[in-house]
Amino acid sequence: MLNHQAELLRELIFEQVRQEIFTEKPSRLRCIWLIPHDEPLLAAWRATINGSFHAFEVEADGQFHIGASCYLKPVCFSGDQLRDHARRYWSEPVDVQAQQAEILCVGEIKILREIKISGASEGTWAKIKRLF
């Protein structure tokens, strides 16, 4: 429960910093969250999520921001440290080949296909396609 509250606080602080300094950036609270298509990265995310995990290859159009995932953890920092991480998340360039990154998109996506990840069960997209 404490981790959940810390994550909520982090998101509020990141949004506050965005609204104060980086108004041109898309909001983390109203975006589509994307990651680069990288099999080891997908497998790592799948391992950290309890429950079902589905990945899709998409075409995306809209406003984007690429942020370094390292600034999102740990979540149990002081408010000043979280504000510093937020400023760095919104302002520092990210090399997606060298760092774990997330891509925020406010816009439209088109699902191209579901990406099969080893150990994953049939996904929702595949089930829907089978119905039609």
Tokens of 65: 């921001």
Tell me the average pLDDT across 35-62: 80
CA distance 62 to 92: 21
Per-residue pLDDT of 19-38, as tens digits, reads 999 999 999 999 998 887 77
Domain positions in the chain are: 2-131
Tell me the average pLDDT across 98-109: 89
Tokens of 96: 């997606």
> Over 118-132, what HEC string results?
CCCCCCHHHHHHHHC
